[in-house]
Structure 1
Amino acid sequence: MSCTSQKKVTNQAKEEVVLNTNEKPNLIIIHTDEHNFRTISAYQKLLPEAQAFVWGKGNNSKTPYIDKLAEEGAIATSYYAASPVCTPSRASLVTGLHPGATGAPKNGMHISEDVPTFATILRDQGYATSYVGKWHLAGHEKYAFGIKYKAGFDDNRYMMKGGHAPYFHIKGDKFKGINENNAAKLPKEEVVHSTDYFTDKTLEILERDKNKPFALMLSIPDPHTPDYAKPPYNTMYEDLNIEAPKTMAPEYTAIKPSWAGGGKPDNNEAFGKKAFENEKNALKQYFGMVSHIDDSVGRILQFLEDNHLTENTIVIFTSDHGDMFFEHNRRNKGVPYEGSARIPFLIRYPNKIPSGKVINTAYTNVDFTPTILSLMNVKTDAKFQGLDTSDDFTNNKKVVNSDRITYFAKSGGWWVSAVSDRYKLVIDKKEKPYLFDLQKDPDELINFYHDAAYAGIAKMMQAELFKQMKMYDEPGLKLGQKYITE
């Protein structure tokens, strides 16, 4: 197994960009929040049955429109958040840098204004750049617009600082996030669901810009908690008999590493059997939200088809992080388990990406910006920490396999995780190292770190992890290595 080393960023030079094509491709990024990759049926088709349906056989959502991106383009099976919480993951996606270099390594922080983004680069090349939906790179304020620093998105009228209320109450110039109970009490013409609102605004902007090169990012706040799907999606999955995931069983949860909530639960995300019974309906609502998102994707794809824009438009579907949803007795995110850290990534670009491609290579969304700019034939002097992986998407191989090792980390650097397509090493300053074999143990229950048969793999993963952490000045490197030398 070989490793791919990466070049260190030495400066943030002002970018000088040259476009090497007569026809500029368009770009649409559809980005969701707290989205478990297993709820995309294109992933279900590639997973073993027990992994596709961790909540019981057949118990999952269906996403025909999102699946269309994989059928007509490519799907990446080992794509990870740079850090599995909102702000740092989003910052890495738009900059091509690890969170510590973006100015926003923790939730609620502001992205640095002197760091280039893919939008600043495309804007300077004459693209109409727009952002619609949740931003979360300008503080914690909810349902607030008018963000001063646009990060290259010239049209940021609908860039919202944050918030996950299912509905918006809009009356005149007043805008408020509300729950479903309050929505029912108001005049229908004053209430709109957040997913519909942002999708509608996206379609308005696409209509305006369809005759010029455009780059638009739509960031839908769902399927994040509070786990409410609007009708008719709220009853779409009500007949499912949701089962507890295998990893909730007491024999697996009695002893867990500290980074997974072992010992004292670190917060209210630690879960139990009683809570599971009380909240099974939340998962059905979650599936409903995913179906609502899927239909919104369908609306956008139909717009492209109707306006003859399909061939020259890159469409990407991805998310900022996952949602554990009961696995390992947890909800939400922030841990290195697959349900939290692994994210969906599907891309369609008929002019360059062969249809039906499956890519089994470890990426993080630090790789996104250099890769997308390369796919768009954009040259830049901006420096990135992620890799240009565009050849994986454009070559003629139907299946791309690689043993590349990359890494992601907890915001703040309390733990770090090296990952390849098969193996995952987790190192924490308070905990012994954990090595998972995702092929033999996809539930991530067995620590192979001290298994003699895995000694070479553990050594290689660890060496590459520390090499990259040093290269990118990863904060976790300074927090101590108590267990590493044992």
Structure 2
Amino acid sequence: MERTDTGVEVIQASPAPVDDYLDSYIGRKAADFVDAYEDVHPLCLFVGFAGPHDPWDAPGAYASMYRPEDTPPPIPIPAKPATLPDYVEPNAPFRAGAPLSPELIAQIRANYYGKISLIDYYVGRILKAFERRGWLDDLLIVFVADHGEMLGDHGRLRKGLFYESCLLIPLLIRWPGRIPATLVTNALVENIDVFPTLVEAAGLTAIGWHAGKSLWPLLRGETSNLRESQLCESGRARNHFMLRTSEYKFAVDATERTYMLFDLAHDPDEQRNLAGDASAIDLENSLRRELQRRLEQSRCAE
């Protein structure tokens, strides 16, 4: 693709027809697989869409489905951002290039929304295939993503950061007759919980050690919470870890220097970094102890 002088790909429709676009191909082949399935054994199907993801190249009508001027503005860069590791800084050269203009961010967001709508369409096609086979009401469906997208928030694009824009992802689970359709939870869960949840749903017991927790106590309404904190590690920089509770977010780098501390209850847009603030030293120490406990428990530190 062409590139602008900001280092960001030009936002444009994919040259490929909609039917030949990668996510279209994945969705279509998954639906075809269900339509043609004749094995006597129960069906387990994993479908991994590549998007929504950069480059910003939604195909066909999906590229113009949303108007840039209708997209919400990004979360701003704080007027006095705290010192952050290079890979977290706004407009880090290897992630965004020069400062992102509001117009460019709006174009990226509109294109990204189009890619989401394309995936939504093909998820519908897959579910229709199960419905044609008469299996939909017996089907356990788990819809989950592996990361979010900055989309210009805090002056950044793409992934790999500990901001909410990257961390908050969908997790939808449907199983008629087993899970109430109206169930919504704010419990702290992690992607590694999906594996033990599926194992338990199959009536099996997981073999060996794993850090995830089955979500079934939540799904059955037996509890409102599984854990007091979430643990996350970054693949962008070695030994960068984050701890998140229902109220706070705490992140340290490889030298154990705190570089993120946010009061999410009062600062959901993460505009005031309390890292190094004397008023938050007791809170920081408490979160550091919890982070160390979680690291030892999870083996991430190894």
> TM over 0.5: same fold?
yes
Aligned to 1:215: 44
Give CA-to-partner distance per residue, 1:135-188, whole Å, 9 cap, x none.
xxxxxxxxxxxxxxxxxxxxxxxxxxxxxxxxxxxxxxxxxxxx833x47xxx9
Identity value in percent:
24
Residue among 278, 281, 298 paired with 2:124: 298
SS at match of 2:178: coil
Q: 1:381 to 1:391 in 2, by over 3 A?
A: same
Q: 1:331 to 1:258 in 2, by over 3 A?
A: same
Shift in Å at residue 454 of structure 1?
Answer: 5.4
Letter in structure 2 aligned against 1:445: Q
Unpaired runs of 5+ in structure 2?
1-12
1:420 corresponds to 2:245:
yes
Shift in Å at residue 294 of structure 1?
Answer: 0.7
| Higher RCO, Cα 8 Å, sep 6+ | 1
Q: 1:357 to 1:245 in 2, by over 3 A?
A: same
CA separation in 2, counterparts of 1:346 and 1:438? 23
SS at match of 1:462: helix
1:337 corresponds to 2:138:
no
Shift in Å at residue 471 of structure 1?
Answer: 3.0
Shift in Å at residue 262 of structure 1?
Answer: 3.1
Residue among 222, 225, 244 paired with 2:54: 225
Aligned to 1:200: 28
CA separation in 2, counterparts of 1:423 and 1:300? 38
Q: Is the 8 A contact 1:270 1:330 kept in 2?
A: no
Q: 1:290 to 1:405 in 2, by over 3 A?
A: same
CA separation in 2, counterparts of 1:259 and 1:311? 49
Shift in Å at residue 432 of structure 1?
Answer: 3.0
Shift in Å at residue 405 of structure 1?
Answer: 1.2
Aligned to 2:9: none
- Bigger Cα displacement from structure 2, 264-273 vs 227-236: 264-273
SS at match of 1:408: strand
Q: 1:255 to 1:277 in 2, by over 3 A?
A: farther
Letter in structure 1 aligned against 2:37: D
Give CA-to-partner distance per residue, 1:175-219, whole Å, 9 cap, x none.
xxxx833x47xxx9xx71212211111112212336631111111
CA separation in 2, counterparts of 1:218 and 1:371? 18
Unpaired runs of 5+ in structure 1?
1-178, 478-486
Give CA-to-partner distance per residue, 1:79-123, whole Å, 9 cap, x none.
xxxxxxxxxxxxxxxxxxxxxxxxxxxxxxxxxxxxxxxxxxxxx
Q: Is the 8 A contact 2:262 2:272 kept in 1?
A: yes
Shift in Å at residue 277 of structure 1?
Answer: 2.5
Letter in structure 1 aligned against 2:177: N
Give CA-to-partner distance per residue, 1:392-435, whole Å, 9 cap, x none.
112267xx356621311112533100112332111113543432
SS at match of 1:463: helix
SS at match of 2:228: coil
- Bigger Cα displacement from structure 2, 372-381 vs 452-461: 452-461
How many residues end up aligned between the 2 structures? 287
Aligned to 2:104: 278
Q: Is the 8 A contact 2:196 2:212 kept in 1?
A: yes
Letter in structure 1 aligned against 2:300: E
Q: 1:376 to 1:270 in 2, by over 3 A?
A: farther
So what's the TM-score if we normalise by structure 2? 0.83
CA separation in 1, counterparts of 2:95 and 2:207? 45
Q: 1:199 to 1:242 in 2, by over 3 A?
A: closer
Q: Is the 8 A contact 1:256 1:263 kept in 2?
A: no
Alignment of 1:427-442 (within 5 A): 427-430=252-255, 431-442=257-268
Aligned to 1:236: 65
Q: Is the 8 A contact 1:405 1:461 kept in 2?
A: no
- Bigger Cα displacement from structure 2, 329-338 vs 206-215: 206-215
Alignment of 1:228-377 (within 5 A): 228-238=57-67, 240-242=69-71, 244-248=73-77, 251-252=79-80, 254-258=81-85, 261-262=88-89, 265=92, 267-269=94-96, 272-274=99-101, 276-377=102-203
Aligned to 1:386: 212
Report which of the two has the higher share of strand. Answer: 1
CA separation in 2, counterparts of 1:263 and 1:291? 28
Aligned to 1:408: 232
Shift in Å at residue 256 of structure 1?
Answer: 4.3
So what's the TM-score if we normalise by structure 1? 0.53
